[in-house]
């Protein structure tokens, strides 16, 4: 927490020094995690394609005369709207109806150029909540196709051996933050469905030789439950984006068990990595299924359904390989370069 505060102070100072030499500042969390990765990818693509002069910062303080894009609702709640002359945009991934702080955004919505979300599902929630449809832009998350790509079977086995992973088990991945706070994460973050994940794995462990690979911060709840169930697992910790991409290469299956999501990015990352994916119908899953009818989804909280889909993947190697290939083809339409062009055309160019 101290490091985060120190970074915010440093970035505020940098804003005052040269932050206003840019067309756009994308405001990210001080922690090097999901929102920060988004901001880095979007600003990198904007600069590479020479669409805008863009940067990331963990603070909007001191900025003026530019587009200020808040990367999440929590960031907005931390700082509020800047008092200087800026054109703000808010990205809203997770809509939680019980969060009374959201009323502030509804009341202040006219001050935003746009309120962006990554999927139709969240857009519908926001409209029901009272956000004007004219303010909402639905633009998906993206994926780095150079970083996340399929590994050959030989390369996969070599990487497994290097990390000491079992050769005779199905490696199931879960790379996310599903505990409250940035500590051990013993208190589950229920919107991420860690309880549903554990139930799914418990069902699978009765019929299949599984091994669970975990990554991401605050995974204490899941780890403690796997230990109770005697399900073998390995924790990789809080990985960088590059390390996360390598971790996908180890997997035979990725599971998304969430109740609420903006993406999650794990959907696109596993698809791009050629890893079979099963997911609850959250976030972008519904939009992707409209493109790819064979996409493997179940209703929210359906642990038995997830386990059945996993069994289908484990039982049929040809089906699994074909699914992975089709997922990769669909993921190619979600490169950060293509997605950032949508950001520019639908939002940034209209405010710049």
Instruction: Kindly list the domain boundaries of the chain, sorted by start residue.
Output: 2-142+336-351, 153-334
Residue 5: half-sphere exposure toward Cβ, Cα within 13 Å: 2
φ and ψ of 344, to 5 deg: -65, -50
pLDDT for the residue 17: 95
pLDDT for the residue 153: 82
pLDDT for the residue 308: 98
CATH superfamily of domain region 2-142+336-351: Glycogen Phosphorylase B; (3.40.50.2000)
**253-256 sheet: strands from edge to edge:** 233-235, 210-215, 170-175, 253-256, 277-280, 297-298
CATH superfamily of domain region 153-334: Glycogen Phosphorylase B; (3.40.50.2000)
pLDDT for the residue 1: 66
Do 2-142+336-351 and 153-334 come out as alike in CATH topology?
Answer: yes
Residues of the chain with pLDDT under 70: 1
pLDDT for the residue 33: 85
């Amino acid at each position: 927490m101290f490091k985060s505060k120190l970074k915010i102070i440093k970035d505020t100072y940098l804003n005052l020094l040269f932050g206003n030499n840019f067309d756009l500042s994308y405001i990210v969390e001080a922690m090097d995690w999901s929102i920060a990765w988004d901001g880095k990818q979007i600003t990198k693509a904007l600069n590479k394609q020479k669409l805008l002069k863009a940067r990331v910062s963990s603070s909007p303080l001191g900025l003026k005369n530019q587009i200020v894009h808040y990367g999440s609702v929590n960031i907005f709640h931390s700082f509020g709207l800047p008092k200087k002359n800026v054109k703000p945009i808010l990205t809203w991934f997770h809509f939680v109806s019980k969060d009374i702080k959201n009323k502030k955004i509804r009341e202040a919505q006219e001050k935003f150029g746009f309120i962006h979300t990554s999927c139709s599902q969240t857009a519908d929630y926001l409209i029901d909540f009272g956000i004007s449809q004219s303010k909402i832009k639905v633009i998906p998350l993206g994926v780095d196709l150079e970083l996340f790509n399929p590994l050959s079977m030989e390369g996969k086995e070599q990487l497994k051996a290097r990390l000491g992973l079992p050769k005779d088990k199905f490696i199931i991945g879960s790379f996310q933050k599903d505990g409250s706070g940035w500590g051990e994460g013993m208190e589950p973050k229920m919107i991420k469905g860690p309880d549903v994940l554990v139930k799914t794995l418990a069902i699978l462990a009765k019929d299949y030789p599984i091994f669970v690979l975990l990554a991401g911060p605050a995974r204490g709840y899941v780890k403690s439950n796997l230990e109770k169930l005697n399900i073998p697992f390995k924790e990789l910790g809080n990985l960088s984006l590059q390390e996360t991409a390598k971790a996908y290469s180890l997997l035979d299956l990725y599971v998304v068990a969430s109740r609420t999501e903006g993406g999650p990015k794990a959907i696109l990352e596993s698809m791009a990595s050629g890893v079979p994916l099963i997911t609850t119908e959250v976030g972008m899953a519904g939009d992707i299924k409209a493109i790819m009818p064979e996409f493997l989804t179940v209703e929210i909280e359906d642990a038995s359904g997830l386990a059945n889909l996993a069994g289908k993947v484990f039982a049929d190697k040809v089906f699994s390989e074909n699914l992975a290939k089709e997922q990769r083809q669909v993921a190619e339409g979600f490169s950060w370069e293509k997605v950032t062009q949508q950001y520019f055309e639908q939002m940034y160019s209209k405010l710049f």
